[in-house]
Structure 1
Amino acid sequence: MGGAMSSVEERVLCVNSGSSSLKFALFASYGERLDTLATLAVQNIGGARGRVVLRSNRGGRELEANHLDHAQAFETAFSLLEEAQAGPFSIVGHRIVHGGPRYVEPALVDPTLVANLRAIVPLAPLHLPSSIAGIEAVARRYPAVPQVACFDTAFHSSMPEVARRLPLTDGIDGAGVRRYGFHGLSYEYVMSTFGPTAPRRVVIAHLGNGASLVAVENGKSVDTTMGFTPAGGVMMGTRPGDLDPGVLLHLLRQEKLSPDALAQVIEREAGLVGVGGTSDMKELLARSRSDERAKLAIAMFCRSVRKAIAGLASILGGIDVLVFTGGIGEHAAEVREGVCDGLSFMGIELDRAKNDRAEDVVSTSTSRCVVRVVRTDEDAMIAKHSLRIARANR
């Protein structure tokens, strides 16, 4: 981590509020340069065996701490960050999973924005309440510090109507039921690694517990796999991805599932965990040599991503660069190989040795499509957006 300097212009705290966890990254800004001062994670909020992990250039701390709710977790986090850094934050940036149809770029937080977020909680009921709680916790503790909301959906606002529209009646579409797309901050960061010479046709596979892919043409999102909610698209850790709508009707009518029980199935009990018994890809890979369920889960995941790549390639008319990112995309060489296996007709050829080492470029020198592995940094993207918006509003 970069060290603190006397010429620090501003400190930016980036906040990522999950349904049962909090993640923080504290940056020092030196003009265009960002140095990481500290990271902190609060795990298992609302459950037993909670844990807090702090890493900073002054050392680290790990402690067991149970928190009843996000408000308690934020107070613990703020106290630890203050102890570690002994300096105020000048800006706080929040990752907001859903901006609805209104927010297509980062925005300064004010009462109107918070009210608008409350209104769209039904679009992301697992994520938005904790994000709102985070905004309120910062306002209580640091009332003079400006806050900036950075939306994961904003990157996809460039999608054309043919990609954004769902095949439903005008009345439903007019009510905001459409494809929004997610993981936008990650996609923005990946595209920034190309610099000013980004390829024309890029497919990015953000593969983690949540997973999605995007087709980028001339730097703009033109299609993506996630749709109205983060539950759609490719198979994920605990979510099924796209399902025949008739399955949901069957579960409601024949199995008599309540809406809450159905949500539990869709959000918590499907995907890798539903097929393989765990959402941990590392564990599945270790078990797959002797466990048929684990082997099937991995095969289904790779097949789902492979189909998405081919589909997005048809939208772009081919792919110049395929990028793997996210926890699985960056670290699971076997998954990258499994996904690319069968895509040779698109000119994709992996170099096994490079892939095993997760080099920046893992394709062969003769591959017609360059395949990269990029470590994403959503926090850095949040910090850059937050600095720009806060400075512009002074």
Structure 2
Amino acid sequence: MEKNVKLNNEQFILVLNSGSSSLKFAVYHYKSMHRQWFGVITGIGKPLGNMTISDSHQHEASRRMRHYRNIEDASTEIILWLKENKKNCQIYAIGYRIVQGGANHMVPEIVTEKLLADLNALIFLAPNHLPNELSLINTFLLKFPSLNHVACFDTNFHREMPDENKFYPLPVKYKKQGLRRYGFHGMSYEYIMQKLNEQYAFIDQKKIIIAHLGNGSSMAAISSGKGFDTTMGISPMGGLVMATRCGDLDPGAILFMLKQNDITAEELDVELSEESGMKAIAGTGDMQEILNMGDDDKRAVAAITLYCCQAKKFIAALAASMGGLDMLIFTGGIGQNSPEIRERICADMDFMALKIDRCLNLRTEKIVSCQSSRVCIRVMKTDEEFMIALHTKRILEGGEEKDSTFSTQSEVEIT
């Protein structure tokens, strides 16, 4: 633990969760883990962005509208807010969500010079995420060099998947280079499983699929209380079709795109991650906008049909992989807030004894399955920020699970 920062009873953990065009942040009381503040900056890179901050009672406490050119501008805005609220918000540690740390960095760990160097070398694995995440860390390290900084990896939840679900059928040299199925949205899955453990006895005996559906969508199969399989692979582009990401493609389709067009690998990455998915079909990747376009718009119908059809296929495939299904959880922006999408996904799934109750689903009850459904269908709110805060606290108190990969790593203060 950092020696020159003394912990008192009124200090907090700051959590930073960076997206492609947004930045979420939250402040948790170190001792009680009660969330004191939650904020989000949206529209980063657009002509006009928005920062909203809510208090512990979920009442809006502040709103600012400005032009945030990049993640550095958004970071500066948060730092300014922290300075203005220093009396009520003394930060002891900062936790960061990191989407990808490669094969050697999955378990949460203290930010060191070596870790930053390793992550910089891995940018090619997550070019749409890691640059912003590293910029965020560097900005806050520069401003708060004496604080404890902890990196929490989205891939941690999936690290114990069995080999048949973890590795690709490719020459062994690629496996040695770190080419494997990492899986993502791990903080979300971990939070849902923690809540289920609190609510159900023997949850580790259940076979569960969690559908994290949002701008980025994925599913995870959980068996014996651990991640067993997931839809995303080496990158967050794989699996389900998403807002602007293509999802799974035949490798031949990627070769076709490269051979038939004079584009670089970087240009192809942009096309697959920012110009594909539902945006390519409907003209927008925003699910609510697509639903509002109505049944008369063929593009909207095509996008929704594809999204729900793929979700059905992955639910069935993951259930087959585990050898059964006891519980299906919907979470994420779409999964939690769109009864129509949930109903469409669950329609005609009777063959799996999976039946949704339309009335319960419209009221967004916790359990939305019919009494005759053998599979329990639930809607749950996720909280990635809480899991980051919890991991940060555990690391600093020495209670976090350690991986031998990190046991000899020194903790170097970054200045």
**Shorter-normalised TM range:** over 0.9
Aligned position for 1:207: 213
Unaligned runs of 5+ in 1: 1-6
Aligned position for 2:155: 153
* Residue 243 (1) aligns with residue 242 (2): no
Distance in 1 (alpha carbons) for counterparts of 2:288 and 2:20: 23
Of the candidates 313, 323, 341, which is equivalent to residue 329 of structure 2?
A: 323
Answer whether contact 2:48 2:68 (CA < 8 A) is retained: no
CA displacement, residues 10-40 of structure 1 (integer Å, 9 cap, x when unaligned): 311110122332210111133xx42221122
**What amino acid does structure 2 have at the position aligned with 1:237?**
A
* Residue 307 (1) aligns with residue 319 (2): no
TM normalised by structure 1 equals 0.94
Aligned position for 1:35: 34
Q: How far off is 1:133 after superposition?
A: 1.1
Aligned position for 1:115: 117
SS at match of 2:377: strand
Aligned position for 1:91: 93
Q: CA 1:59/1:215 → structure 2, altered by over 3 Å: closer, same or farther?
A: closer
SS at match of 2:72: helix
State the superposition RMSD in angstroms: 1.7
Answer whether contact 1:20 1:43 (CA < 8 A) is retained: yes
**What amino acid does structure 2 have at the position aligned with 1:99?**
G
Q: How far off is 1:387 after superposition?
A: 0.5
Aligned position for 2:3: none
Answer whether contact 2:10 2:90 (CA < 8 A) is retained: no
**What amino acid does structure 1 have at the position aligned with 2:209?**
V
Q: CA 1:69/1:284 → structure 2, altered by over 3 Å: closer, same or farther?
A: closer
Aligned position for 1:353: 359
Of the candidates 287, 290, 294, which is equivalent to residue 288 of structure 1?
A: 294
Distance in 2 (alpha carbons) for counterparts of 1:293 and 1:68: 32
CA displacement, residues 72-117 of structure 1 (integer Å, 9 cap, x when unaligned): 3211111113324533211111000012101231111111111111
**What amino acid does structure 1 have at the position aligned with 2:80?**
S
Q: How far off is 1:391 after superposition?
A: 1.8
**What amino acid does structure 2 have at the position aligned with 1:187?**
Y
* Residue 195 (1) aligns with residue 194 (2): no
TM normalised by structure 2 equals 0.89
After superposition, residues 58-207 of structure 1 pair within 5 angstroms as: 60-84=61-85, 86=87, 87-195=89-197, 197=201, 198=203, 199-207=205-213
Q: CA 1:177/1:336 → structure 2, altered by over 3 Å: closer, same or farther?
A: same
Distance in 1 (alpha carbons) for counterparts of 2:293 and 2:68: 33
After superposition, residues 222-301 of structure 1 pair within 5 angstroms as: 222-301=228-307
Answer whether contact 2:52 2:64 (CA < 8 A) is retained: yes
Question: How many pairs are equivalent?
Answer: 386
SS at match of 1:24: strand
Q: How far off is 1:229 after superposition?
A: 0.4
CA displacement, residues 96-150 of structure 1 (integer Å, 9 cap, x when unaligned): 0012101231111111111111111111011111111111111111111101111
Distance in 1 (alpha carbons) for counterparts of 2:190 and 2:113: 27
**What amino acid does structure 1 have at the position aligned with 2:285?**
S
Answer whether contact 1:99 1:154 (CA < 8 A) is retained: no
Aligned position for 1:4: none
Distance in 1 (alpha carbons) for counterparts of 2:60 and 2:376: 39
Answer whether contact 2:328 2:377 (CA < 8 A) is retained: yes
Distance in 2 (alpha carbons) for counterparts of 1:195 and 1:381: 15
SS at match of 1:222: strand
**What amino acid does structure 2 have at the position aligned with 1:98?**
Q
Greater RCO between the two (CA within 8 Å, min separation 6)? 2
SS at match of 1:228: coil
* Residue 378 (1) aligns with residue 377 (2): no
Q: How far off is 1:169 after superposition?
A: 0.8
Aligned position for 2:346: 340
Q: Bigger CA drift: 183-192 or 74-83?
A: 74-83
**What amino acid does structure 2 have at the position aligned with 1:68?**
R
Structure 1 segments (4+ residues) deviating >4 Å: none
SS at match of 1:89: strand
Unaligned runs of 5+ in 2: 1-7, 400-410
Distance in 2 (alpha carbons) for counterparts of 1:258 and 1:130: 22
Answer whether contact 1:278 1:284 (CA < 8 A) is retained: yes
SS at match of 2:234: coil
CA displacement, residues 158-189 of structure 1 (integer Å, 9 cap, x when unaligned): 11111111111111121111100000000000
Answer whether contact 1:82 1:88 (CA < 8 A) is retained: no
Distance in 1 (alpha carbons) for counterparts of 2:45 and 2:342: 35
